[in-house]
């Protein structure tokens, strides 16, 4: 049912040794460290340029448009660019899949302490959450890390549009979320367009 995005997590192993102390070879660690250092240096240099031209230091803490956007963490999706969100105007809450249940803590804080009164949900095409099952990932983590993660719901889905509807329904039914307008979209990573999902 699921297209494999990860390496097969269900290979038949009768035991799952705890490999936490031997996850990565020294050579790979060295390569990763070098790459990470290079990336961090780029980010620091970019921030120097950003800070030199920065003139938004007087923005208020609450978002000016009183909206919270829940979106996937996918690197191809930039909610600010996609939706034209200006700095200081909205809370952008991101997680794997843009799932509402995972964002609940942030939504409560956003509404109760910072006054947001509208929610926008953005999922997207070609999402990695379509490529595995909850059992797949739990088995993989157990095999690779020797840790039991049965207490974590990874919240994958098999139907993209339904995932948006499910998240809207979750928020509307939650006693911890205010009765506010909630709109859901699917972002097309190929065209850059958003399509509204009828709840």
CB atoms within 10 A of CB 29: 11
> What is the overall mean pLDDT for the chain?
89
More confident position, 77 or 1: 77
**Confidence category of residue 37, pLDDT binned at 50, 70, 90:** confident
Asked if residue 78 belongs to a known ligand binding site, the reply is no
pLDDT at 16: 37
Q: What is the pLDDT of residue 3?
A: 47
Q: How far is CA 125 from CA 53, 92, 158, in A?
A: 35, 19, 12
**pLDDT band for position 35 (cuts 50, 70, 90):** low
In 3D, which of 153, 146, 147 has the Cα closest to residue 19? 146
Q: What is the pTM of this model?
A: 0.84
How big is the chain, counted in residues? Answer: 199
74 assigned to a ligand binding site: yes
Give me the mean pLDDT over the 48-74 stretch: 99
**CB burial of residue 87 (10 Å; 0-12, 13-18, 19+):** exposed
* C-beta of residue 181 within 8 angstroms of C-beta of residue 148: no
Please name every residue paired with 123 in a beta bridge, in sequence order, or none if there are none. 186
Query: 185 - beta bridge partners?
Result: 122, 196
Does the annotation place 188 within a ligand binding site?
no
Q: Please say if the pLDDT value at position 1 is more than 50.
A: no
Question: Is 167 known to sit in a ligand binding site?
Answer: no
CA distance 84 to 4: 34
Task: Give the separation between CA 10 and CA 16, rounded to whole angstroms.
Answer: 12
Tokens of 9: 């997590």
Q: 13 pLDDT exceeds 80?
A: no
Residue range 130-161, pLDDT digits in tens: 999 999 999 999 999 999 999 999 999 999 99
Percentage of the chain exceeding pLDDT 90 = 81
């Amino acid at each position: 049912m699921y297209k494999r995005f990860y390496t097969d997590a269900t290979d038949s192993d009768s035991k799952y040794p705890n490999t936490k102390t031997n996850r990565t070879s020294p050579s790979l660690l060295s390569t990763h460290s070098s790459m990470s250092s290079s990336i961090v240096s780029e980010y620091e240099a970019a921030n120097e340029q950003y800070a030199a031209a920065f003139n938004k230091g007087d923005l208020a803490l609450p978002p000016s448009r009183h909206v919270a956007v829940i979106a996937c963490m996918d690197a191809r999706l930039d909610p600010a660019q996609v939706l034209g969100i200006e700095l200081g105007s909205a809370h952008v809450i991101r997680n794997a899949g843009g799932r509402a249940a995972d964002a609940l803590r942030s939504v409560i804080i956003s509404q109760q302490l910072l006054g947001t009164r509208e929610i926008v949900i953005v999922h997207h095409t070609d999402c990695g959450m379509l490529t595995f099952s909850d059992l797949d990932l739990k088995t993989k983590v157990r095999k690779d890390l020797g840790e039991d993660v049965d207490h974590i719901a990874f919240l994958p889905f098999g139907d993209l549009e339904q995932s948006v509807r499910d998240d809207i329904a979750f928020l509307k039914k939650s006693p911890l979320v205010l009765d506010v307008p909630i709109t859901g979209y699917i972002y097309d990573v190929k065209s850059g367009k958003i399509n509204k999902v009828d709840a």
